[in-house]
Amino acid sequence: MVTARQKRTRAGVVLRCGAATCALVLAGCGSGADDREDAKPSAGAYAATTTTTPGASAAHRLPAPGEAEDEVLKAYGSMWAERTKAYRAASAEGTDLKLYLTPSAWAAVEADLDRMNRERTQMRGDLRHDPEVTTLATAERPPTATVRDCVDPSAWQTLDTTTGWRLPPPAGRPARYVATARLEHGERWTVTEYAEDRTRSC
């Protein structure tokens, strides 16, 4: 026969065992969460997978492969947008042209603008462009790219500011011609060289 006291004792054992079981279950859950946290890559592990080489400055971090080509074309387009403003006024004042050109490339544009001022000419209209990236070397230091452009000057005319007359285009110039630009990535993509071959149609 089981007395009331024995029943209470057994109930206490069941409760104590139940509490111990819960503690074990909770400990197991906590251990799984810790394991999952441990499985996450640390900040150091992530940094090791980036394209930045040890000791490289922020200015020379490699562009993401999927974005580099778009960045090159955007920089080239921005350079020409600012260059167009400068040629329309025969002056780079008020433009951001220098942001997209290295000093050597800027010197060539500056010489053009000086010539236009001597000849009292400005440009009117727009040059049409069809650029494409032909080479992209993001592993180089600094990263480099080459852009081949097919330039359409049919709506780009020279204005004689003394007479107000529009000057005819040079004889024998093709309807569209090839231009080539080289860019480097420092703080941003900038044009280091730009050359036009007005005898080569595209």
Residues of the chain scoring pLDDT < 50: 1-60
pTM beyond 0.75, yes or no: no
Please give the sequence-ordered ranges of beta strands (E in DSSP) within 121-188, or none if there are none. 121-125, 132-137, 144-151, 156-160, 166-167, 177-185
Residue reference for tokens 């107000």: 164
The pLDDT value given to residue 172 = 80
Give, in order, the Cα–Cα distances in Å from 63 to each of 12, 82, 119, 187: 67, 23, 42, 11
Q: What is the DSSP letter of 1?
A: -
Q: In this predicted structure, what is the pLDDT of residue 67?
A: 84
Smallest Cα–Cα separation from 100: which of 114, 85, 88? 85
pLDDT value of residue 65 = 59
Three-class secondary structure of residue 144 per DSSP: strand
What pLDDT is attached to residue 25? 32
Neighbouring CB atoms inside 10 A of 25's CB total 10
Residue 199, C-beta contacts closer than 8 angstroms, at least 6 positions apart: 174, 177
Write the DSSP assignment of 15-80 as a string of letters: HHHHHHHHHHHHHHHHHHHHHHHHHSPPHHHHHHHSSPPTT--GGGPPPPHHHHHHHHHHHHHHHH
